[in-house]
A and B are shown apart, each in its own frame.
Chain A
Amino acid sequence: MWMRSALAYRASFLMMAFGNFAANALDFVAIMLMFSRIDALGGFSLPEVAFLYGTSGVSLGLADLLLGSIEGLGRRVRDGTLDVLLLRPAPVFAQVAADRFALRRLGRLTQALLVLGWSLPHLPVEWTVGRVLMVPLMAVCGTAIFAAVFTAGAAFQFWAQDAAEVQNSFTYGGHAMLQYPPTVFAKELVRGVTFLVPLAFVNWLPALRLLGRPDPLGLPGWVDFMGPVVAALMCTGAGLAWRLGLRAYRSTGS
């Protein structure tokens, strides 16, 4: 239904799809402009940065495609329209996630896949079966981690109804960070996204392993493979937060 409503204004839909594609391409254009003046950023070459960009973008793109609409929860809590969803015989979570499903979000995913595809043959990596399999595994775990962040952010909005932007700083801000090599950032910041909000498991740690580089925190090697465990833990935590939030929900007073 949301797809048909989007297509009603055709010119706008086309511009929207293009805009979404371009919005993400813009980040990469900035990176390419930087590399027009330099050969390496934080010791990483353009294909290596493109690999980080692609893996982070694919993960966020998939999570956004699945759950991105959940951002709108704060508005629904504010204006009381969440009550309608509570009355329907389907899980509220699924309804909020499917709300205003936007096909245009494919723009981000497509663009990230293109960059990732370009980077792979240019990487200085000897591809073995295990290493090839690591790439889709990264995407799956990364998607789960971003999906957990989306869900936890939405759960937070049951209390702080007007704070959708805080969620953006973790999802889009995290994505912006993961596009660049960890060597660029201060150690405290890297520690923050490793231990506090473990976004480093989306691509940094497995990518460093794949590229044969030491990680700036000097963690033991097995940590690089903890992505699936971290993703599972985060999803469980986010699920619990969502249930708590939903239970704490009181409808608007108006």
Chain B
Amino acid sequence: MWYAAVAAGSFRRYATYRIATVAGVFTNTVFGFIVAFTYIALWDERPHLGGYDQAQALAFVWTGQALLACTGLMGSGGLEELQERIRTGDIAVDLYRPADLQLWWLAADLGRAALQLVARGVVPMAVGALAFPLALPGDALTWGCFLLSVLLGVLVSFTLRYLVALASFWLLDGTGLALISGLACMFFSGMVLPLRVFPGALGEVAQLLPWAAVLQVPADALVGARSGGALLRGLVFQAGWAVALLALGRLVQSAATRKVVVHGG
């Protein structure tokens, strides 16, 4: 029950940053327009590139912008605070608490993601749908599957960011690693270019990596590039990575807390 309270608190906390949220929505929308126009030029040149038609490609662009903040695609997403607590040694206080560190931060991240999905997802998507012809589903079931896929994507993204944050126990200052991990996520999630458009083996490998679970799979579910059995396989793929990485996070966490020497005595 605690963890629900943590999630709700995190939701409310992010809800207070109103101007920052509006500024973020503005930025997502501006970038959505820029990328959408480049994709139109690209799909004009090569129709059905990667198996998407133009309306699907455009829906992909705006899904990316709508999920950018929610899934913490650029890295960070609140976990830089955990990283900072490890660097300064405040983490010692957290370890004393009668709550599990991983579950605590997971709950907080889910609360954050829920708020960001609503606050920074809906408006860019709506603007995109007004300005461009998007291939969006008309039935509630597909939207439901999309939301389930987003939830799994957030889980995978959390586990990756949590591992990066834990690395601060060894690196002390983890900002460099967080930057690189954020870049990997941008590139291999499909945010820079849908993974199906990547040429040859690079595309095939990229679709097996955990980052594909963060954006590529949910976006494919929404734009109709995955349905039926393919959709089910996508969800299992996401769930598999989520479970594996959660377990790995747990392992690293116990190794880290065993060796922890808190700064300042």
Contact of A41 among B19, B45, B173, B193 (CB under 8 A): B45
Q: How many Å lie between the Cα of A184 and that of B175 in the bound state?
A: 36
**CB–CB A162/B17 < 8 A:** yes
Interface size class of A (residues with CB under 8 A): 35 or more
**CB–CB A26/B187 < 8 A:** yes
Q: Which of B154-204 contact A (CB under 8 A)?
A: 171-177, 179-180, 183, 186-187, 192-193, 197-199
**CB–CB B26/A166 < 8 A:** yes
Contacts of A13 in B (CB 8 A): 176
Best-buried of B38, B171, B175 by chain A (most CB within 10 Å): B38
Contacts of A166 in B (CB 8 A): 23, 26-27
**CB–CB B197/A33 < 8 A:** yes
Interface hit among A14-22, A65-73, A80-88, A115-123: A14-22
**CB–CB A12/B180 < 8 A:** no
**CB–CB B179/A15 < 8 A:** yes
CB-CB under 8 A for A22 and B180, given A9-B172, A38-B42: yes
Closest chain A residue to B176 by CB distance? A15
Contacts of A173 in B (CB 8 A): 27, 30-31, 34
Q: How many Å lie between the Cα of A177 and that of B32 in the bound state?
A: 11
**CB–CB B193/A33 < 8 A:** yes
CB-CB under 8 A for A168 and B42, given A22-B180, A22-B183: no
B117 contacts the other chain (CB 8 A): no
**CB–CB A164/B23 < 8 A:** yes
Contact of B171 among A12, A19, A160 (CB under 8 A): A12
Chain B binding site: helix, strand, loop or mixed by DSSP? helix
Binary flags per residue of B247-264, CB closer than 8 Å to A gives 1, else 0: 000000000000000000
Contact of A163 among B20, B33, B37 (CB under 8 A): B20
Contacts of B37 in A (CB 8 A): 180, 184-186, 189
Would you give the shortest CB distance from A220 to chain B, in whole angstroms? 25
Contacts of A169 in B (CB 8 A): 26-27, 30-31
What residues make up the interface of B, taking CB atoms closer than 8 Å to A?
A: 17-20, 22-24, 26-27, 30-31, 33-35, 37-38, 40-42, 45-46, 49, 171-177, 179-180, 183, 186-187, 192-193, 197-199
18 A-B pairs with CB atoms under 8 Å apart are A11-B176, A12-B173, A12-B175, A19-B180, A23-B179, A26-B192, A37-B49, A37-B199, A161-B19, A162-B19, A163-B23, A166-B23, A176-B34, A180-B34, A180-B41, A183-B41, A184-B40, A186-B37
